[in-house]
Amino acid sequence: MEKVIVGQIVNTHGIKGELKVKASTDFVEERFATGAKLFLDYHNQDIEMTVASHRFHKGHVLVTFENLRDINLVEKYKGCFIYAPKDESLLDEGEYYISDLIGCQVYERGHLIGDVIDVQLYDHHDILVVKGKEKVMIPYVDAFVIDEDIENKRIDVQLIEGFYHED
């Protein structure tokens, strides 16, 4: 089963086993719904958890898992990443998971700039981090991205002069 990251546990909250999660998904309600199956990466082992409840508090998601309703049972999970099964049905046409973008080759006017090594998420738009001869950060917006063929791992961009050094 292919999984995608949906958040990271940043702290505990209270004494009843709530975990403070920095969500990294556009589908918080679906991913953290009561009964949802999630996986914690704990010391490089996947631990399957079932969501008992979630709520929002000061920009974070507070999550409790079944059978873990005590701070002493969950403290050890601080810093762990949370994953969910990849579910294409949550995406609209033309939308992709970040993991689908990683490894795509980025071209400008037929010239290979490099490979997407990361996607940085911001409120207004995301940034593709592309590594070739140099690292280039490209806003992931229509003004720069002219074609995407994610299935074939190719993204074509049109950058403004001076955006990167062409050798």
Per-residue model confidence as pLDDT tens digits over 108-134:
989 999 999 998 877 788 899 999 988
Which distant-in-sequence residues (6+ apart) come within 8 Å of 28 by Cβ? Answer: 54, 61
Q: What is the pLDDT of residues 98-107, one digit of tens each?
A: 888 999 999 9
Average pLDDT over residues 65-73: 95
Paired residues of 156 in beta bridges? 107, 147
pLDDT reading at 167 higher than 70: no
123 versus 69: the higher-pLDDT residue is 69
Average pLDDT over residues 129-147: 93
* Residues 142, 92 contacting (CB under 8 angstroms): no
Average pLDDT over residues 3-30: 93
- pTM to 2 decimals? 0.72
Q: How far apart are CA 108 and CA 165, in angstroms?
A: 12
Q: How far apart are CA 111 and CA 90, in angstroms?
A: 34
User: What's the distance, CA 45 to chain centroid?
Assistant: 19
160 versus 147: the higher-pLDDT residue is 147
Domains of the chain: residue spans and CATH:
3-88 (2.40.30.60), 98-157 (2.30.30.240)
Spatial CA neighbour of 119 closest among 100, 98, 136, 104: 98
10 exposure class (CB count in 10 Å sphere: 0-12, 13-18, 19+) = middle
